[in-house]
Structure 1
Amino acid sequence: MDPWLKLSVLVFMWFSFNSQLSLGADTISANRSLSGNQTIVSSGGSFVLGFFKPGNSSNWYIGIWYGGKVSERTPVWVANREIPVRDTQSSELKISDGNLVLFNESKVPIWSTNISSSSSSSVVAVLEDSGNLVLRDGPNSTTPLWQSLDHPTHTWLPGGKISLNKRTNQSQLLISWKNSEDPAPGLFSLELDPKGTNQYLILWNRTTQYWTSGPWDEQARIFTLVPEMRLNYIYNFSFHSDENESYFTYSLYNPDTISRFVMDISGQIKQLSWLESSKEWNLFWSQPRQQCQVYAYCGAFGSCTEGGLPFCNCLRGFHQKSQSAWNLSDFSDGCERTTKLQCEDNRTLTNGKPDKFLTSPNVKLPQNAESVTATSISECESTCLQNCSCTAYAYDSDG
């Protein structure tokens, strides 16, 4: 073979292989899908869309993450957060029947934008430099059919909004990941108060409120219980309300700043900015301020210590219910008894010793605590011992 011809073949093969790694454009169209290592990149290079695998997980997800200056891969949006794929080469994200649809390795659709489109052949999905993935009826259309900023996962990007639909009384949620390697919806969520008080709430398990921002002060342009906002030189918040919805949105005073809000697996809402000098995310503030103020953060029979690392430990006589979950910063399963109580075990006394109580100071009563009249602390203890569903007791001077 002519050596020049051999060189040409090698160069062509190398170019063809690398062209499969990145589509080099910001658009998915009817004749251009995405699979394997392929990505699309926003026009300014700020964001990337493609398959990613969090941590040491074996699962793959379609997500958007920072590009450009941010060297640490940081997902800001996940499409199939509850249904991962295992093989990216045979999975495909493409335009199908006017929607953007993710097909898994078995060619089964597992995620879709799920909207009605009048002219499916012209629909395109464009990744904008704001991190917004927009579905449009043609590349020149200005009205989005669907956009990812209206469906946030755990990250609130500039230009996005967290809203309350006044017609349905449904709040748009910002929901934490389950753990550091699983983007499935976790236990902690941020929402605009459905009662219309113009304040944000953080909920545990979508039911139990454990933090509020306080009402919005339009004149001071801060939430009344977030005084740190007075020092905020990064974000410009604004509130909007009409007959259909109420929502907050924000922009950056300096458009060159890279910053975001995250509903973290810690149960805290965090404000983070990228520091180019140190190549890392800088925490500006978090709420609640203290980790141990997060409701049920350490799970059943877990003890939270503000000054310690890790924050969570098991009470004496208990061990982690799931060590693997704790390793991923998911403490929600809490702890379980190392030895059963007598009332849980029909056998004779363990080692011939009766059940006893361990004093645990500075602990709040649970939300569903029951009260029983007792004339003394010993009577309170005896009453609890006789009821196997009683796990702890507290006694005060009023009996």
Structure 2
Amino acid sequence: MVSFFIVLFSFFFLSIHVSTTDTISADSTLSGDQTIFSSGGTFKMGFFQPGNSKNFYIGMWYQQLPVQTVVWVANRDKPVSDKNTAVLKISNGNLVLLEGNNQTPVWSTGLNSSSAALDAVLQDDGNLVLRDDSGSVLWQSFDHLGDTWLPGAKIRYDKRTKKSQRLTSWTSLEDPSPGLFSLELDESTAYKILWNGSTQYWSSGPWNNKSKLFDSVPEMRLNYIFKYSFFSNATESYFTYSMYDPRNISRLVMDVSGQVKQLSWLNNNDQWNLFWSQPRQQCQVYAYCGSFGICNEKSQPFCQCLHGFRPDSQKDWDLMDYSAGCVGKTELQCSRGVINQFMPLTNVKLPDNFEVWGITSFSICGSTCLGNCSCMAYAHDESSNRCLMWTNDVLNLHQLEKDNSEGNTLYLRLSASDMPNSSSSGKSNKAMILARF
């Protein structure tokens, strides 16, 4: 009986020791339901499944919050299907993730250093650090950010390589693979948000050394929660922030919505509170609703498919991933005898990716678009008589209020069978009659 209690106590002590460690050492692994904790108990690391996804990822999240909030993912674009046959360990001087009976490589820290990694430590600031036997840092997760920017981390611009670190959104709430929206620091010392790595749709404005803030982020003024710091020398620039009260929990996220959001945890309500976000309006996010989708600030959800179109993937739309946009319910035919018409979309902000066909009348503009099989929509600028055409995709379309002076009419090409039963009068009706073979 004494031996039994000794064994039981030893097992209990070992379990406590394993479950509270913050380190993956050279002779230990992480697999299945095993986890490690940061020394102060703020963060936890292990395998997780986002939402209802069947995939597993190695990531870290806040340990003490009732809502699992993931702040970093290692294998964000290479999930594993079985956490029990996957293992995270130190191998050949790197931290690696292997999967299956064949231990197929999935993810690695990718070091080619002559110094071999001794262990990986999860720090209480949310930084995963790979160290050698002297304690020197060989690799850290703060240099490989995902969608979350924690206090103490930096987003840098390297003046020598002309490259910037990026925060990149998840693809959807259940898919942490890199999405279309990213935040980076540019050479002008301004933060900007990009769509698809190229199209800028928001900027913080350059750093103002006198006022110690970004001019286009007024929330930084008279702020008693966050302490901001900007640094620049001949080789790099970076921005970081910390909390005046380290007991407060906050994170900055490049969200799946395409907005950058600063969130703080409210203990009294057990939920995240939005401190600020940019762009402020959802429809200011470039191409948020994908091709042939329209964004409307007055509707819920913000995105709808245009009449005659449906979501390319309803599952993705349900997860707030609208990037695939919409597809036509009826495939358009472009041949003699087939009737196509144009449906007027009134009070809209015209998409950006138009081509100027020329200076001409409204009727000739519509006829020209009809005769071009790749023309999906057109608009006529009355002030200049310009004929604007959209070929292939209609992207970044916004529905505006009726009294908005920026509102225009876009004429969308549809099969006659997809046209609404009722038609508008006047000029819009004329356009539909014109657009027939």
Give the TM-score, by structure 2 length: 0.83
How far apart in 2 are the matches of 1:110 and 1:99? 13
Match of 2:81 among 74, 77, 86: 86
Matching residue of 1:100:
95
1:31 CA displacement = 1.1
Q: Which residue type is aligned with residue 323 of structure 1?
A: Q
Q: How does 1:292-303 map to 2 (within 5 A)?
A: 292-303=283-294
Q: How does 1:293-332 map to 2 (within 5 A)?
A: 293-332=284-323
1:91 CA displacement = 1.0
1:154 matched to 2:147: yes
Cα deviation, 1:332-381, whole Å, max 9, x if unaligned, reads 111111123331xx5853xxxx3222222333333331112343211211
How far apart in 1 are the matches of 2:229 and 2:260? 18
How far apart in 1 are the matches of 2:30 and 2:299? 45
How far apart in 2 are the matches of 1:169 and 1:270? 26
Match of 1:26 among 10, 14, 22: 22
Matching residue of 2:33:
37
1:288 matched to 2:279: yes
Cα deviation, 1:79-119, whole Å, max 9, x if unaligned, reads 01111111111211111122111111230121111223445
More strand, by proportion: 2
The 8 Å contact of residues 21 and 38 in structure 1, kept in 2 or not, is answered as no
1:23 CA displacement = 3.1
Matching residue of 2:246:
255
1:19 CA displacement = 2.5
1:179 matched to 2:164: no
Q: Percent identity?
A: 57
Give the TM-score, by structure 1 length: 0.91
Tell me, which stretches of 5 or more residues in structure 1 are unaligned? none
Q: Judging changes above 3 Å, is the alpha-carbon distance between structure 1 residues 253 and 387 closer, same or farther for their aligned structure 2 residues?
A: same
1:211 CA displacement = 0.8
The 8 Å contact of residues 161 and 247 in structure 1, kept in 2 or not, is answered as yes
Q: Which residue type is aligned with residue 67 of structure 1?
A: Q
1:391 matched to 2:379: no
Q: Judging changes above 3 Å, is the alpha-carbon distance between structure 1 residues 71 and 21 closer, same or farther for their aligned structure 2 residues?
A: farther
The count of residues paired between Structure 1 and Structure 2 equals 383
The 8 Å contact of residues 91 and 104 in structure 1, kept in 2 or not, is answered as yes
Matching residue of 2:217:
226
1:233 CA displacement = 2.4
SS in 2 for 1:292: helix
Tell me, which stretches of 5 or more residues in structure 2 are unaligned? 386-437
SS in 2 for 1:289: coil
Q: How does 1:35-74 map to 2 (within 5 A)?
A: 35-68=31-64, 70-74=65-69
Q: Judging changes above 3 Å, is the alpha-carbon distance between structure 1 residues 347 and 21 closer, same or farther for their aligned structure 2 residues?
A: farther
How far apart in 1 are the matches of 2:6 and 2:125? 40
Matching residue of 1:109:
105
Q: Judging changes above 3 Å, is the alpha-carbon distance between structure 1 residues 175 and 151 closer, same or farther for their aligned structure 2 residues?
A: same
SS in 2 for 1:378: helix
Q: Judging changes above 3 Å, is the alpha-carbon distance between structure 1 residues 6 and 324 closer, same or farther for their aligned structure 2 residues?
A: farther
Q: Judging changes above 3 Å, is the alpha-carbon distance between structure 1 residues 304 and 32 closer, same or farther for their aligned structure 2 residues?
A: same
Q: Judging changes above 3 Å, is the alpha-carbon distance between structure 1 residues 22 and 373 closer, same or farther for their aligned structure 2 residues?
A: same
